[in-house]
């Protein structure tokens, strides 16, 4: 295990604004950090889902099936993301015995940067979902467009979160250091 | 340390465990997988909600017993275990569509429990046994599903065919999402998906039977048509075979006739060639004869031309002679006239006599000329000489 790289400290600070307890995968806290990040993503996605549920309920009851359908699609996308995140791999703790190599500076940098970006992205999705519900209430702006934009953002987030698997899977096998 | 199993059956969804009731010699630990969660309720307060972890020393063991005895542990410790992964629930229903037809089937609800919603299950366990199974949950939500979702959705279907439409499925899901949220949220569940599966209605069974009978009839019809087609093919095949055989026989006969004809033709050709050679031979002979005749004719013509030439010469000589004679006579008469004139003997009687004699002389000349010009012509066109007794060209005698 190596120390936290200096150039990712701004990213760690950024994540710490949202997640208290996040320390950038320092020694012995890797699983905890991973769990914190995943829980935050799940929590934010649940927020998006709640906004979409409100939109769906109102539009369905008013007979606006088009918008209700879009909101339902977004809810489903949120469910997929939550399921992806909750069942995502988090790596192993016992690197020495498990055959994993210890994360290098490069790995940690990538992981921390990725955490920061995915949290930024999901936060953006929450903001758009909030705006869509707000625009529906005030009837200014295109609610459907915002709902679809939220869906797109959640889908992107889902795909982006998948990249985390690639980083973690890089730790699975001991590689010969050059 | 022994492992505690909170779930014995796959139908178990959640379980509330009173940790104080677990009195074992060895302490208990429980492994929580990613789709399992455990909410700790200590002294009536909801504590941590754990997942993906090994919960060590959750109950039992000497140290915990000792702690209980001396009063250093919590008074009430309960563990609420729950499955958080998606699970399917089949809720049977019966209803009627708009035309009064009875419909039976199942409504499938796919539910999931969020980690932070696990403590909400306390609402259930407050009035029920400490274990929640699929049947237990279905018994709670079934009535509301039928009343709020199934019945209104079926009422919008005018016929059994509407039950199978995508629109109905979508409406069912949306209605379930909207109407069931209150109850499910109270229990801590989140609905992921909902869809109905309806058994075939009576009218659909009739339609199915009708379709089967129709299919049977169509099948029979197809068989009959196939048999007819087979017979037709057999007939066509037989006719074709007969025609081919006839054609072969005809071709054979035609070939035989052709061979015979060719043989005859060959003979005829040979005969023709023979006749041709004979004709050629005869023609050659005739040509030789014609050539001979032509040569004779040519010779005769040449002779005739020579005679004509000589005749023309003779006539020319005669004419010259007469001309000379007439000129000498004219000279003589002129001299006589001049001499008579000189001698004064030129009287009208002399003149008259001289004219008379001259006229007589002319007459004699003319008659001589006429005799010369009155030539005869043969029927073949050949001019005959007065001395000839027969035509040299055609051989006809001259009368």
For A68-99, the pLDDT digits (tens) are 999 999 999 999 999 999 888 776 555 555 55
The stretch B365-386 carries a mean pLDDT of 68
pLDDT at A72: 94
Asked if B177's CB is within 8 angstroms of A72's CB, the reply is yes
Quote the mean pLDDT of chain A: 82
Percent of chain B at pLDDT exceeding 90? 48
Contact between A46 and A82 (Cβ < 8 Å): yes
Residues of A in contact with B116 (CB under 8 A): 43
Contact between B32 and B80 (Cβ < 8 Å): no
Select the residue from B82, B152, B179, B192 to test the A interface by mutation, using most A Cβ atoms within 10 A: B192
Asked if B35's CB is within 8 angstroms of A60's CB, the reply is no
Interface check for A89 against chain B (CB to CB < 8 A): the answer is no
Contact between A25 and A102 (Cβ < 8 Å): no
SS3 B62: helix
d(CA B210, CA B159): 17
A87-106 exposure pattern, b = at least 16 Cβ within 10 A, e = fewer: ebebbeeebeeeebbebbee
Among A107, A100, A114, smallest CA distance to A162 is for A114
Question: Which of B43-47, B316-320, B362-366 is predicted with the least confidence, judged by mean pLDDT?
Answer: B362-366
Residues of A in contact with B52 (CB under 8 A): 35, 90
Name the CA radius of gyration of chain B, rounded.
Answer: 76
d(CA B129, CA B137): 12
Q: B58 pLDDT exceeds 80? A: no
Eight-state DSSP code of residue B194: E
What Å distances lie between residue B35 and A1, B79, B85, CA to CA?
30, 16, 5
The stretch B259-275 carries a mean pLDDT of 91
B37 - beta bridge partners? B82
Residues of B in contact with A75 (CB under 8 A): 177
Contact between B55 and B36 (Cβ < 8 Å): no
For A12-37, the pLDDT digits (tens) are 888 887 787 788 777 777 778 888 88
pLDDT at A1: 44
The three-point CA angle B293-B295-B298 to 5° equals 105
For A43-59, the pLDDT digits (tens) are 999 999 999 999 999 99
The stretch B212-229 carries a mean pLDDT of 94
The stretch A94-110 carries a mean pLDDT of 66
d(CA A167, CA A147): 31
Contact between B354 and B330 (Cβ < 8 Å): no
B248-259 exposure pattern, b = at least 16 Cβ within 10 A, e = fewer: eeeeeeeeeeee
For B104-148, the pLDDT digits (tens) are 999 999 999 988 899 999 989 988 899 999 999 999 999 999 999
Contact between B32 and B38 (Cβ < 8 Å): yes
Q: B83 pLDDT exceeds 90? A: yes
Eight-state DSSP code of residue B147: I
The enclosing H or E element of B124 equals helix B122-125
Residue B62 banded pLDDT, cuts 50, 70, 90: confident
Q: B69 pLDDT exceeds 90? A: no
Q: B43 pLDDT exceeds 90? A: no
What is the full DSSP assignment across B331-394? HHHHHHHHHHHHHT---HHHHHHHHHHHHHHHHHHHHHHHHHH--EE-TTSPEEPTT-SB-TTT
More confident residue, B331 or B93: B93
Length of chain A: 178
Contact between B130 and B16 (Cβ < 8 Å): yes
Q: Which of B178, B181, B192 sits opposite A79 (nearest CB)?
A: B192
The pTM (predicted TM-score) of the whole model is 0.62
The torsion defined by the Cα of B388, B389, B395 and B398, in degrees rounded to 10, comes to 100
Question: Which of A26-30, A108-112, A131-135, B247-251 is predicted with the least confidence, judged by mean pLDDT?
Answer: A26-30
pLDDT at A178: 41
Residue A78 C-alpha from the chain's centroid: 11
Asked if A56's CB is within 8 angstroms of B178's CB, the reply is yes
pLDDT at A169: 65
Residues 6+ apart with CB under 8 A from B267: none
Contact between B30 and B6 (Cβ < 8 Å): yes
pLDDT at A176: 46
Instruction: Report chain B's terminal Cα–Cα distance, integer Å.
Output: 177
Name the CA radius of gyration of chain A, rounded.
Answer: 19
Interface check for A81 against chain B (CB to CB < 8 A): the answer is no
């Amino acid at each position: 295990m190596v120390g936290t790289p200096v150039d990712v400290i701004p990213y760690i600070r950024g994540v710490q604004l949202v997640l208290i307890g996040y320390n950038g995968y320092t020694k012995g806290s890797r699983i905890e950090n991973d769990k914190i990040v995943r829980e935050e993503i799940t929590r934010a996605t649940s927020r998006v889902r709640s906004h979409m549920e409100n939109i769906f309920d109102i539009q369905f009851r008013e007979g606006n099936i088009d918008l209700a359908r879009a909101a339902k699609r977004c809810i489903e996308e949120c469910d997929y993301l939550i399921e992806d995140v909750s069942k995502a791999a988090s790596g192993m703790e016992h690197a020495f015995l498990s055959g994993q190599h210890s994360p290098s500076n490069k790995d940690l940098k990538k992981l921390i940067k990725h955490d920061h970006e995915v949290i930024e992205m999901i936060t953006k999705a929450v903001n758009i979902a909030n705006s869509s519900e707000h625009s529906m209430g005030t009837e200014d702006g295109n609610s459907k467009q915002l709902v679809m934009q939220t869906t797109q953002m959640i889908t992107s987030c889902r795909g982006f979160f998948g990249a985390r698997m690639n980083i973690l899977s890089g730790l699975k096998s001991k590689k010969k250091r050059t | 340390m022994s492992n505690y199993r909170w779930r014995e059956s796959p139908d178990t969804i959640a379980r509330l465990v009173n940790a104080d009731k677990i009195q074992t010699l060895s302490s208990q630990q429980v492994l929580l997988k990613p789709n399992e969660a455990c909410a700790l309720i200590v002294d009536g307060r909801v504590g941590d909600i754990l997942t993906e972890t090994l919960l060590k020393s959750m109950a039992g063991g000497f140290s915990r017993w000792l702690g209980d005895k001396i009063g250093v542990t919590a008074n009430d410790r309960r563990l609420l275990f729950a499955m958080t992964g998606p699970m399917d629930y089949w809720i049977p229903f019966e209803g009627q569509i708009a035309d009064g037809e009875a419909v039976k089937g199942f409504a499938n609800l796919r539910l999931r429990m969020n980690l932070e919603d696990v403590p909400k299950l306390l609402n259930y366990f407050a009035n029920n046994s400490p274990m929640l199974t699929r049947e237990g949950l279905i018994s709670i939500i079934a009535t509301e599903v039928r009343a709020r979702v199934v019945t209104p959705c079926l009422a919008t279907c005018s016929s059994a065919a509407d039950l199978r439409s995508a629109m109905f499925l979508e409406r069912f899901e949306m209605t379930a999402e909207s109407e069931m949220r209150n109850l499910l949220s109270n229990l801590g569940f989140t609905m992921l998906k909902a869809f109905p599966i309806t058994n075939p209605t009576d009218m659909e069974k009739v339609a199915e039977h009708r379709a089967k009978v129709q299919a049977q009839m169509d099948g029979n019809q197809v068989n009959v048509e196939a048999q007819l087609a087979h017979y037709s093919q057999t007939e066509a095949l037989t006719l074709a075979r007969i025609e081919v055989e006839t054609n072969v026989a005809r071709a054979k006969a035609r070939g035989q006739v052709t061979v015979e004809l060719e043989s005859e033709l060959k003979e005829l050709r040979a005969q023709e060639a023979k006749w041709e050679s004979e004709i050629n031979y005869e023609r050659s002979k005739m040509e030789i004869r014609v050539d001979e005749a032509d040569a004779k004719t040519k010779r005769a013509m040449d002779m005739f031309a020579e005679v004509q030439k000589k005749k023309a010469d003779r006539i020319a000589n005669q004419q010259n002679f007469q001309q000379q004679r007439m000129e000498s006579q004219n000279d003589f008469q002129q001299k006589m006239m001049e001499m008579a004139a000189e001698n004064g003997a030129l009287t009208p009687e002399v003149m008259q006599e001289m004219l008379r004699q001259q006229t007589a002389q002319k007459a004699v000349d003319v008659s001589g000329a006429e005799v010369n010009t009155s030539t005869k012509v043969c029927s073949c066109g050949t001019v005959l000489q007065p001395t000839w007794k027969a035509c040299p060209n055609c051989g006809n005698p001259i009368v």
